[in-house]
Structure 1
Amino acid sequence: MLKIDIHTHILPSELPDFRKKFGYGGFVSLEHHKPCCARMMIDGKFFREIQDNCWDPEVRMRECAHHQVGVQVLSTIPVMFSYWAQPQDALDLSMFLNDHIADIVQRYPKRFIGLGTIPLQAPELAIRELERCMKIGLAGVQIGSHINDWNLNEPALFPVFEAAQELGAAIFVHPWDMMGKEKMNKYWLPWLVGMPAETSLAICSMIFGGIFERLPRLRVAFAHGGGSFPATFGRIEHGFRVRPDLVAVDNSESPRKYLKQFWLDSLVHDPVMLDYLVRFMGPERIALGTDYPFPLGELEPGKLIGEMPYSNDIKERLLHGSALEWLGLEKRLFA
């Protein structure tokens, strides 16, 4: 069966000295300190080590062949969003990253699909870059779970979502800059606790903010199986019912109405949870996603889906059908 992995991250092999270019710090740089490895650094401090599968499409394709993954959807590493930066600088950075992904997609159109990044701290610039992303062959954009002090229901962001619907651009929402991280300095808790909460924050903000109500054709997928949202949906729905004065202030429709209006990736690491997602959302709303090439991802892409006691029709939906629907693409493009 064709496998389309909607959640993979990539960087260029070399990054400009953005600190020197823009005149201030906070940007990622790369130190290629040994063959096939590089350190991601921020203002001289170590952030993460990556390997060549994070920048070399040939290495990625070899690893995909080993796991029978036919297509990867490429997006930048969320730390690159740089929503905190000056708007024009963030636009320049976005254009650099987007051109890199578009080039890979152009060279290997049957193996890769691209998502751009946009400077959402400046919605007008974000719309301009979104339009350019679609012109250079990308399928949409990846965005963060919040933009500085804005959640995704922020009125200033609505024109961006409106433009995405009009352009037919897919949106992939990824957690970043995790809430409460200052209280979670041990045990990798920002990634284990903060990330799932961030994704639920994003979903709830879009539901209760009326984004899905006002833009019914908007195609949005959320990372990490929706984070904590599916497991806490009963609480969320109950809160809507018993305290509409606090919850239903911008949208009077039940959150359950929108469960068929967005997608989740399958990255939950647990068969019971995956089966819950399939029952909760329907298989047509769950798409294979692995967080390749990082260790919190599914290390054998598609293995969990393959081991589930589902019919071939459901497995095909999970492995590629839902992804194609979210992306607005046809299977024949990757035959």
Structure 2
Amino acid sequence: MLVDAHAHLLPQDYPEDAPACFPRMEAIDGDTARLLVFGAMRFRARDVFFQAERRIEEMDASGVDAEVVTPMPPLLRYDLPVADGLALARHVNEFTATLCAVAPERLIGFGMVPLQDPDAAAAELAAIRAAGLHGVEIASNVLGASIGDERFLPFFAEAERLDLPIFVHAMPAATDRLPPSAAGTYVVGLEGALAAASLITGGTAAKCPNLRISFSHAAGGFPLMVPRAQYFWSGSWNEEPPNPERAVMPDDGPSPLEYARRFYYDSMVFDRRALRYLVDLLGHDRLLVGSDFPAMLREEPAGRSLRLLGLPEKELEDITWHNAFRFLGIDPPR
């Protein structure tokens, strides 16, 4: 069995009386795809984004048994007025629930919230759960603010209380240190790292110990940051016993590595050597299959790089499907 825990959707349409700041999906002559128009964005969305039957056809062709489907990240527009952001989230969430109802054991939907207002976002989580959605997607920053900032703690605490998992998708923030052409490559790696690190350094990981949270693209560069943070905390190399004389920033709480091993990470890192490092550092029980489908093409067959690692069968099965259901907090289908 294989569960793709990082896949996306787009609604087929938006209300005719929607606010001017809403996206539009325009028909394309002679094509089953539609054109997403959202501000300056123009994106040709294949029918698999919004037609359940087409999704299932492509899942079958790739050897995927189930998908965790989340809104395409450009829909996470935290710059909208709160009322408009909430209306957009509710429209997308309703579409997601309808799409997934076609095949609920194969399409596992996540909602979205207007995180620019943490209180409104927290209040919407109950509605997401009531709609039959299994979690919520957020961006790695909110208009440049770290998700580990204390202002967002009530949102994470409510998700923990409701037992709703969170999927953090890397979202480029404005920066003048790299060119715009790097937004989808290097900046995404930076954003994932900053998001994961901020949840530790900002105290959210400590205050919400039972929160289930996963990061797109294995949280970018975060896994390479963790050993350095671990050394500063313990003064030791290679998980050897702590050496207080070498420790730069010791404390008596969980170590950076312990916190990192509470999170989940998807496998969309494009290289088996990177996957091997993730398994060695974080553990096979922390990894999920991810593809970014259909925004990006899957490996054929899905999970090919994972299988190149030669992992024991039990570890491979954990990554390809057991971990996904643990992250979701639901029983796997028989």
Instruction: Give the TM-score normalised by structure 1.
Output: 0.89
Quick one: which amino acid aligns to residue 19 of structure 2? F
Other structure's SS at 2:295 match: coil
Matching residue of 1:321: 322
CA contact (8 A) 2:126 2:162 kept: yes
Other structure's SS at 2:109 match: strand
Matching residue of 1:293: 294
Deviation at 1:6, TM superposition (A): 0.7
Other structure's SS at 1:269 match: coil
| Inter-CA distance 151–298: structure 2 relative to 1 (3 Å threshold) | farther
The count of aligned residue pairs is: 321
Matched residues in 2 for 1:180 and 1:255: separation? 27
| Inter-CA distance 144–299: structure 2 relative to 1 (3 Å threshold) | farther
Matched residues in 2 for 1:138 and 1:170: separation? 10
Q: Does 1:11 align with 2:7?
A: no
Q: Does 1:178 align with 2:173?
A: yes
Quick one: which amino acid aligns to residue 271 of structure 1? R
Counterpart of 1:210 (choices 203, 210, 213) is 203
Quick one: which amino acid aligns to residue 259 of structure 1? A
Matched residues in 1 for 2:35 and 2:81: separation? 25
Alignment of 1:1-335 (within 5 A): 2-16=1-15, 21-23=18-20, 25=21, 27-34=22-29, 35-43=31-39, 45-180=40-175, 183-186=178-181, 189-238=182-231, 244=249, 253-295=254-296, 298=299, 300-331=301-332, 334-335=333-334
Identity %: 27
Deviation at 1:213, TM superposition (A): 0.9
What are the Cα deviations for residues 176-199 of structure 1, in whole angstroms up to 9, with x where unaligned? 13342684133xx11110001000
| Inter-CA distance 193–136: structure 2 relative to 1 (3 Å threshold) | same
CA contact (8 A) 1:267 1:297 kept: no
CA contact (8 A) 1:284 1:318 kept: yes
CA contact (8 A) 1:265 1:287 kept: yes
Unaligned runs of 5+ in 1: none
Matched residues in 1 for 2:112 and 2:151: separation? 17
What are the Cα deviations for residues 235-277 of structure 1, in whole angstroms up to 9, with x where unaligned? 44456677649xx9xx965312212211000111101110110
Other structure's SS at 2:145 match: coil
What are the Cα deviations for residues 209-238 of structure 1, in whole angstroms up to 9, with x where unaligned? 111111110000000022111123334445
CA contact (8 A) 1:267 1:298 kept: no
Matched residues in 2 for 1:203 and 1:297: separation? 25
| Inter-CA distance 243–302: structure 2 relative to 1 (3 Å threshold) | same
Matched residues in 1 for 2:109 and 2:296: separation? 22
Quick one: which amino acid aligns to residue 36 of structure 1? T
| Inter-CA distance 179–285: structure 2 relative to 1 (3 Å threshold) | farther
Root mean square deviation, CA, Å: 2.1
What are the Cα deviations for residues 269-302 of structure 1, in whole angstroms up to 9, with x where unaligned? 1011101101111111001111111227546421
Quick one: which amino acid aligns to residue 59 of structure 2? C
Quick one: which amino acid aligns to residue 6 of structure 1? A
Instruction: Give the TM-score normalised by structure 2.
Output: 0.90
CA contact (8 A) 2:226 2:260 kept: no
What are the Cα deviations for residues 108-158 of structure 1, in whole angstroms up to 9, with x where unaligned? 111111110011111221112111001111111000101114211222211
Matched residues in 2 for 1:329 and 1:211: separation? 24
Which of the two has greater helix per residue? 1
